[in-house]
């Protein structure tokens, strides 16, 4: 008997299929559809980095701008061995829709370098970052394209990018990146923003669907910036986070994992494994753990046609970008499991990045309470708009979000016209 191999996933094919479905439902005219279906600009850079032992290693990186009709391009930078041009294209397209769902004046972009940063020393990581920043400096800038953190990048890496770009110009340009440390023009609340946004949207979805948050069993895949903060806020809201996972493995406690202790454990040991009071479970079974709320917060393509029928959750909230394949989406829809889509659920990060950029440009900084209140208001407003669109069109949450987003980008594209 032939063994069924897992399908090779291409995130850009997935992203275009999602766009096409929305474009069909909107009846988008062919010219606009053709423009929005492809990224506007793609830069591939191959560059050398001197390693600590004196040798030279070549690296490949990308920066893709999908659409800039509603404002400067915006999107994170990912360091990962699995980065590919198609992955970066997909992530850039999703950024366009995400900024449009929450109605902030940015277009979509994404960057990535093919590298496993765990294999580099801090000095190598800094040299790689500064060289990559230099290579993409021809297209990034505070008015044109503003990077931010994503998988395996953090405020320190943003600081090196900001410093490199500023050195080229001879003065400090903090607004060229967001997610920076506070000491150089970062924003209060940015570190927590994506997780906080996921929490707010989950709370609103639970209200709408009649799922009580108090005692709700939550499973979170990924325990980095987004996953750990989401888990902490869900636990604070009275949920029981029964299972969490990182790339090394998954842990379980039916009475609820002590999330602050798990965060400290990861800070000390670099992984969740071995957290006292929890048992190790196979990573493959994490997503299939019976729960009320399932939150993928790691990477794309993890809920597939292979495992979607075994998922036992009442609600899925996509904290990661692109965690559910198009085929899995259809299975979940048929099974009546609502999915709050990435372009809404994790938009808190880019929303506070927008606040950071506004503060940098104005040289006028806001307090954390103000940031969190503005974030809350945008996330609640956006959830309600998606819910209203879903009800109006009798579709799922993903389609509701896409209909809103694509219509906004299409309108901006239409009204600007085609140059020359
Ligand atoms: P991160 O690097 O801080 O953390 C990633 C986490 O996922 C780590 O705990 C890692 O061990 C884990 N992981 C990776 N592969 C895994 C796997 N196969 N199984 C289980 N765990 C795995 O990254 P992050 O910033 O938290 O980003 C996570 C997701 O959220 C990504 O999809 C990213 O694009 C998305 N996102 C991030 C932001 C942001 O502000 N950082 C904003 C919006 C969306």
Residues 208, 128 share a domain:
no
Residues 294, 159 share a domain:
no
Residue 3's pLDDT is 47
Residue pointed to by tokens 């956006």: 382
Residues 243, 161 share a domain:
no
Residue 288's pLDDT is 98
CA-to-CA distance for 33 and 305, rounded, in angstroms?
Answer: 28
Residues 221, 165 share a domain:
no
Residues 85, 49 share a domain:
yes
User: Which residue among 313, 345, 377 closes a domain?
Assistant: 345
List, for residues 9-21, the tens digit of each pLDDT value: 899 999 999 999 9
**Pure H helices in 102-154:** 122-136
Residue 6's pLDDT is 58
CATH number at residue 99: 3.40.50.10860
Domain count, the chain: 2
User: Which residue among 318, 345, 372 closes a domain?
Assistant: 345
Catalytic residue selected from 40, 74, 98, 110: 110
Instruction: Count other C-beta atoms under 10 Å from residue 264's C-beta.
Output: 12
Task: Name, in order, each residue with C-beta under 8 angstroms of 166's C-beta and a sequence gap of 6 or more.
Answer: 172, 173, 174, 176
**Pure H helices in 170-300:** 190-209, 225-236, 259-269
Indicate if ligand 1 lies below 6 Å from the C-beta of 298. Answer: yes
Indicate if ligand 1 lies below 6 Å from the C-beta of 332. Answer: no
Residues 326, 212 share a domain:
yes
List, for residues 324-372, the tens digit of each pLDDT value: 999 999 999 999 999 999 999 999 999 999 999 999 999 999 999 999 9
SS3 of residue 166 by DSSP: helix
Q: What angle do CA 303, 306, 311 make, to 5 degrees?
A: 55
Residues 217, 142 share a domain:
no
190-209 vs 348-362: helix crossing angle, rounded to 10 = 140
Whether 225 maps to a domain, the answer reads yes
**Which residue's CA is the nearest one to ligand 1's atom 42?**
349
Indicate if ligand 1 lies below 6 Å from the C-beta of 107. Answer: no
Terminal CA-CA length for the chain:
59
CA-to-CA distance for 235 and 128, rounded, in angstroms?
Answer: 37
Using the atom order of ligand 1, give the atom closest to the CA of residue 302: 18
Using the atom order of ligand 1, give the atom closest to the CA of residue 298: 7
Widest CA span in the chain: 66
Residue 303's pLDDT is 98
Peptide bond just before 420 cis, omega within 30 deg: yes
CA-to-CA distance for 381 and 279, rounded, in angstroms?
Answer: 39
DSSP 216: -
- Distance (angstroms) between ligand 1 centre and the Cα of 320 equals 6
- Distance (angstroms) between ligand 1 centre and the Cα of 220 equals 11
Q: Is 333 a catalytic residue?
A: no
Distances (CA, A) of 143 to 74, 88, 146, 329, 410: 10, 21, 8, 36, 21
Whether 360 maps to a domain, the answer reads no
85-101 vs 348-362: helix crossing angle, rounded to 10 = 80
How many Cα atoms sit within 13 Å of 168 on the Cβ side? 18
Q: Encode 276-314: b = buried (16+ Cβ within 10 Å), e = exposed.
A: eebeeeeeeebbbbebbbbbbbbbbbbbbeeebeebebb
Q: Are 194 and 319 spatial neighbours (Cβ–Cβ below 8 Å)? A: yes
Residues 199, 87 share a domain:
no
DSSP 6: P
Indicate if ligand 1 lies below 6 Å from the C-beta of 67. Answer: no
Of residues 93, 68, 80, the one with CA closest to residue 15 = 93
Does the predicted TM-score (pTM) go above 0.95? yes
Indicate if ligand 1 lies below 6 Å from the C-beta of 225. Answer: yes
Residue 167's pLDDT is 98
Indicate if ligand 1 lies below 6 Å from the C-beta of 297. Answer: yes
Task: Rounding to the nearest 10 degrees, give the CA dihedral for residues 157, 159, 161, 167.
Answer: -150
- Distance (angstroms) between ligand 1 centre and the Cα of 150 equals 7
Six-digit token string for 312: 């036992």
CA-to-CA distance for 188 and 200, rounded, in angstroms?
Answer: 18
CA–chain centroid gap for 275, Å, is: 27
User: Which residue among 345, 380, 396 closes a domain?
Assistant: 345
* Strand ranges for 133-200 from DSSP E: 145-149
Residue 8's pLDDT is 79
Residues 335, 238 share a domain:
yes
Residues 102, 51 share a domain:
yes
Of residues 404, 7, 345, 306, the one with CA closest to residue 205 = 345
One pLDDT digit (tens) per residue for the chain, 420 residues: 444 555 678 999 999 999 999 999 999 999 999 999 999 999 999 999 999 999 999 999 999 999 999 999 999 999 999 999 999 999 999 999 999 999 999 999 999 999 999 999 999 999 999 999 999 999 999 999 999 999 999 999 999 999 999 999 999 999 999 999 999 999 999 999 999 999 999 999 999 999 999 999 999 999 999 999 999 999 999 999 999 999 999 999 999 999 999 999 999 999 999 999 999 999 999 999 999 999 999 999 999 999 999 999 999 999 999 999 999 999 999 999 999 999 999 999 999 999 999 999 999 999 999 999 999 999 999 999 999 999 999 999 999 999 999 999 999 999 999 999
**Which residue's CA is the nearest one to ligand 1's atom 37?**
150
Parent domain of 96: 40-171
CA-to-CA distance for 406 and 400, rounded, in angstroms?
Answer: 10
Residues 253, 218 share a domain:
yes
């Amino acid at each position: 008997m032939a063994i069924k191999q897992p399908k090779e996933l291409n995130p850009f094919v997935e992203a275009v299929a999602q766009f096409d479905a929305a474009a069909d439902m909107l009846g988008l005219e062919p010219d606009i559809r053709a423009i929005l279906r492809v990224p506007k600009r793609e830069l591939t850079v191959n560059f050398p980095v001197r390693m600590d032992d004196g040798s030279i290693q070549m690296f490949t990186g990308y920066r893709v701008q999908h659409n800039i009709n509603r404002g400067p391009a915006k999107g994170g930078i990912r360091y990962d061995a699995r980065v590919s041009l198609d992955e970066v294209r997909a992530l850039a397209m999703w950024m366009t829709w995400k900024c449009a769902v929450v109605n902030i004046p940015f277009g979509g972009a994404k960057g990535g370098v093919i590298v496993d940063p765990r294999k580099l020393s801090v000095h190598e990581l800094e040299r790689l970052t500064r060289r990559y920043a230099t290579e993409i400096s021809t297209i990034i800038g505070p008015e044109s394209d503003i990077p931010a953190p994503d998988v395996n990048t953090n405020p320190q890496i943003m600081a090196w990018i900001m410093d490199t770009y500023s050195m080229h110009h001879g003065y400090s340009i903090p607004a060229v990146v967001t997610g920076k440390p506070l000491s150089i023009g970062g924003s209060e609340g940015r570190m927590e923003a994506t997780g906080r946004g996921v929490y707010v949207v989950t709370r609103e979805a639970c209200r709408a669907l009649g799922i009580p948050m108090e005692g709700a069993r939550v499973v979170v895949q990924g325990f980095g910036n987004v996953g750990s903060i989401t888990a902490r806020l869900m636990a604070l809201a009275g949920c029981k986070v029964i299972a969490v996972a990182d790339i090394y493995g998954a842990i379980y406690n039916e009475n609820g994992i002590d999330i602050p202790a798990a965060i400290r454990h990861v800070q000390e040991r670099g992984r969740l494994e071995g957290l006292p009071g929890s048992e190790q479970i196979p990573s493959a079974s994490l997503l299939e753990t019976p729960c009320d709320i399932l939150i993928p917060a790691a990477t794309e393509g993890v809920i597939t046609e292979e495992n979607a029928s075994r998922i036992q959750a009442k609600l899925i909230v996509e904290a990661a970008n692109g965690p559910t394949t198009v085929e899995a989406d259809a299975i979940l829809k048929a099974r009546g499991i609502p999915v709050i889509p990435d372009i809404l659920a994790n938009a808190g990060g880019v929303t506070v990045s927008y606040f950071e950029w506004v503060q940098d440009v104005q040289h006028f900084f806001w307090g954390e309470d103000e940031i969190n209140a503005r974030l809350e208001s945008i996330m609640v407003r956006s959830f309600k708009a998606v819910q209203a669109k879903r009800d109006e069109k009798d579709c799922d949450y993903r389609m509701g979000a896409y209909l809103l987003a694509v219509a906004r980008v299409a309108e901006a594209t239409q009204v600007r016209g085609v140059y020359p």
